[in-house]
Structure 1
């Protein structure tokens, strides 16, 4: 069959360009090119990979041909030959090695007649295109694996910072330390956006090192619509509108997308990243109810830091004594389960949900708690928070104070003042419905359906009151975490206060 090579190649390029315009995701792979070449030559074609397996072929290619070509294919793949022609039964066969690096793939063309000079040239041109496509696919595969490895490294850095270990985070980077870890302080920016948008945002800001300039962006492994962004403080960056700050692109995303919201923590030292994350969650809960959809954290000091330190530490150590010798994984699961759903804890630690449940069951039995009850969860969270604070200064050999009860600890003036200030936004109006709903919700184990039944209102009304309370208290209540713990403590203190 006579073939005019330049015109046919022009047609091939036009077809490939047309397909790319019609569907940006269409990949003109080797199969597409082999089918096209088969139609042009009126022949059967196969692409044999480096291992001797047919990678792609026309529909009627006779596989028996390859059995008699094994010695030739081996020499072509190994680089001893560039091309070879032979006859196998009624077929005239042309074999051509593709690429330069061995072992090489081989393009096999079998037809009823020998190939003309033009057909040979077209075969070589299409073979070169096939090899370019294959190399591009391998490059894309390598790039994808690199992106996945970079994402895993960023998540590992976040996990190390969340456990208060910036030095461990630096060691994980094997010398390629992100600029963020050279900063003394950071802010957590928590962006809520459609799950599918997270990858696009990360890719748009990722640099050649796999980081994001002076910050890090990490897909939240628990909540699919959260993007965690760690950035150095921008107090002194940019103009009055913040246009020169590292957070400016995030603010612009929220401004331009009505389904986005952004919560921003206070500036904290790197070891306090977990505290900043909790602050960003509270701020995000507030941002979702504002017209700007952006909120900075303006919370009060945490309760654990306001209690008399020696007495609080004595209570916390006594409370946690039954699990002090528990395995590290048990303690990690317990701490995370106070802030995330159990399924989220399983995803964070890459364990099964049954494993999470088993570890929490052992903690419940040891402490005599029901970790499904928000009051038990709040008490355990308070003990862990107190235990994580720095040890008090003073004489190390001094007699430790008597261990107080938790009610005695929460009856101090500092605790009462904290609770009154916390609950004041709920009491400032004449409508006490939100306040009543919150009390019933805590009593019902933070179950909206039980609360609705107990109060004789709809579940929708309960959730509406919870969203209002989130805005008033500047705390997240619709997901497990410190917002619910603070609410439980505030009610408990208020009930016992003079």
Structure 2
């Protein structure tokens, strides 16, 4: 029998046939041809039979299912034997172990004719190629899992910074990026690109900053990459990156303490909006005059502490969680806040509703939102101990904080709108009183809602502030209206 098979091999294997099939097989190792199913299909055609690749559990990985003896497959898979052959009058079967460092597969080939030398060589070499491809696939999958885990870890660190849990953020970062968050201050940048290009841009951000920054794919905006860096050199690297890529924009914050990462993020987003109108596609948050800087610092701290005092009875962790969520919730939508913090939007709304209840306020009122936003941002600079005041001293009130220099600043700011004959100042005042709802403002003014939106939008470049997107810019304009008396002061539980 063996002699006849040898004779058949000599008759059926013409000179040069070996190199031909070997070249075809090697083509499957090229990057464009690395497909296990295609290799098994090629093997079936090369030996004029059927081929199947299965794992130790008997699951078919590629090819055509073949009836195999379970114990024999198990012996090959466990390494007790490397290969096996079985023959009958009308069927010839070869089983070969496919080597892999961690797993085991069995390659089975069935054909009508006996296996000659060529067919045997094809099966043996194909098993080797499959082993290489399976190992490469596992390595690629492991690489993807590692990159995904690293990306998730970066997001977790950012979320900890957003809720002011600096100690935990440093502890998590220390394992993979020692020294990254050792500094007390940092800048936040937001790089915007086409969503389809974001992964490539994020990788370039990592390369250009030499992993000396926290690079995070924004969970809320598909085209945004957030970069938190304590080093000035990273900012220059990001500006260079944006210059190399058309359709890419960069917004940056001023340097802030790590506890004010959420504030810095808001500044970067605000600067990003300006970058869209800059020829160089880059902008840094402008350090313009902010109303809180014109207020008596001691009075502002006392008022803020009194406004937020109802939260002092809560456990420290709960209080910090509510304050951080509310600060972000006042800057962004509930959906985006939830994505940034890694919680559900219902959780965000529930936390903010709890703060509303404790403070005795209504966040649908833009005046209330502006006042609480002022208190929350001031709270970042307050000591952990409750603010002390003399017995019977009611402390400063919001009206006192908005007087003097703040009233002068507010008059100059809103006065920029007076030259417009359309009277956008009245429209803006009515729109704020309506909680930022264009339809209700339009009803009060007797105009179309689109007219209201156009007036508000036209006021943005004049005031140099974003108004249609809730955030610090809008709240400064609301405070200006309160300071000049164009709007009544809001009713707060303790601070009005």
Same fold by TM-score, threshold 0.5 exceeded? yes
The one-character-per-residue Cα deviations of 1:174-199 (angstroms, maximum 9, x if unpaired) are 43335542445432222222222221
Q: Which residue of 2 aligns with 1:241?
A: none
CA contact (8 A) 1:178 1:214 kept: no
Shift in Å, 1:40: 1.4
Q: Aligned partners of 1:165, 1:418: CA distance in 2, in Å?
A: 35
Q: Aligned partners of 2:194, 2:451: CA distance in 1, in Å?
A: 26
Q: Aligned partners of 1:135, 1:183: CA distance in 2, in Å?
A: 42
> Which of 213, 218, 223 is matched with 1:215 structurally?
213
| Structure 1, 252-261 or 38-47: larger mean CA deviation | 252-261
Q: Aligned partners of 1:435, 1:485: CA distance in 2, in Å?
A: 15
CA contact (8 A) 2:25 2:126 kept: no
Could you say what secondary structure the match of 1:479 adopts?
A: coil
> Which of 429, 439, 442 is matched with 2:429 structurally?
439
Could you say what secondary structure the match of 1:124 adopts?
A: helix
TM alignment of 1:222-261, pairs within 5 A: 222-234=220-232, 245-261=233-249
| Structure 1, 457-466 or 348-357: larger mean CA deviation | 457-466
Please, which runs of 5 or more residues in structure 2 have no aligned partner? 1-8, 488-496
Could you say what secondary structure the match of 2:382 adopts?
A: coil
> Which of 366, 376, 385 is matched with 1:384 structurally?
376
Q: Which residue of 1 aligns with 2:285?
A: 297
CA contact (8 A) 1:92 1:111 kept: yes
Q: Aligned partners of 2:468, 2:297: CA distance in 1, in Å?
A: 31
Q: Which residue of 2 aligns with 1:419?
A: 410
Q: Aligned partners of 2:170, 2:74: CA distance in 1, in Å?
A: 49
The one-character-per-residue Cα deviations of 1:389-439 (angstroms, maximum 9, x if unpaired) are 23499x97866842343223322x232244245445545x55564434432
> Which of 31, 41, 44 is matched with 2:47 structurally?
41
Q: Aligned partners of 1:119, 1:467: CA distance in 2, in Å?
A: 75
Change over 3 Å in CA distance of 1:319–1:45 after alignment to 2? same
Q: Aligned partners of 1:73, 1:276: CA distance in 2, in Å?
A: 61
Q: Aligned partners of 1:101, 1:175: CA distance in 2, in Å?
A: 28
Matched, 1:375 2:367: yes
The one-character-per-residue Cα deviations of 1:28-58 (angstroms, maximum 9, x if unpaired) are 3221111111111111111111333222223
| Structure 1, 99-108 or 146-155: larger mean CA deviation | 99-108
> Which of 465, 468, 481 is matched with 1:475 structurally?
465
Q: Aligned partners of 1:392, 1:206: CA distance in 2, in Å?
A: 36
**Cα root mean square deviation, aligned:** 3.2
Change over 3 Å in CA distance of 1:269–1:379 after alignment to 2? closer
Q: Which residue of 1 aligns with 2:490?
A: none
CA contact (8 A) 1:283 1:296 kept: yes
CA contact (8 A) 1:16 1:28 kept: yes
CA contact (8 A) 2:414 2:480 kept: yes
Could you say what secondary structure the match of 1:7 adopts?
A: helix
Could you say what secondary structure the match of 1:247 adopts?
A: helix
State which structure, 1 or 2, has the greater radius of gyration over its C-alpha atoms: 2
Q: Aligned partners of 2:449, 2:245: CA distance in 1, in Å?
A: 29
Q: Aligned partners of 2:264, 2:351: CA distance in 1, in Å?
A: 27
Could you say what secondary structure the match of 1:476 adopts?
A: coil
TM-score by length of 1: 0.83
Matched, 1:140 2:135: no
Change over 3 Å in CA distance of 1:167–1:317 after alignment to 2? closer
CA contact (8 A) 2:326 2:352 kept: yes
Change over 3 Å in CA distance of 1:425–1:392 after alignment to 2? farther
Shift in Å, 1:475: 3.0
| Structure 1, 358-367 or 453-462: larger mean CA deviation | 453-462
Could you say what secondary structure the match of 2:81 adopts?
A: coil
CA contact (8 A) 1:185 1:267 kept: yes
| Structure 1, 466-475 or 91-100: larger mean CA deviation | 466-475
CA contact (8 A) 1:179 1:213 kept: no
Matched, 1:149 2:137: no
Matched, 1:348 2:343: no
- The number of residues matched between the two structures is 469
TM-score by length of 2: 0.83
Q: Which residue of 1 aligns with 2:3?
A: none
Change over 3 Å in CA distance of 1:182–1:312 after alignment to 2? closer
Shift in Å, 1:337: 1.1
Could you say what secondary structure the match of 1:402 adopts?
A: coil
Q: Aligned partners of 1:320, 1:422: CA distance in 2, in Å?
A: 29
Matched, 1:10 2:10: no
Q: Which residue of 2 aligns with 1:96?
A: 96
Please, which runs of 5 or more residues in structure 1 have no aligned partner? 21-26, 235-244
Could you say what secondary structure the match of 2:19 adopts?
A: helix
Q: Which residue of 2 aligns with 1:238?
A: none
Shift in Å, 1:388: 2.5
Q: Which residue of 1 aligns with 2:6?
A: none
> Which of 394, 397, 402 is matched with 1:402 structurally?
394
Shift in Å, 1:276: 2.1
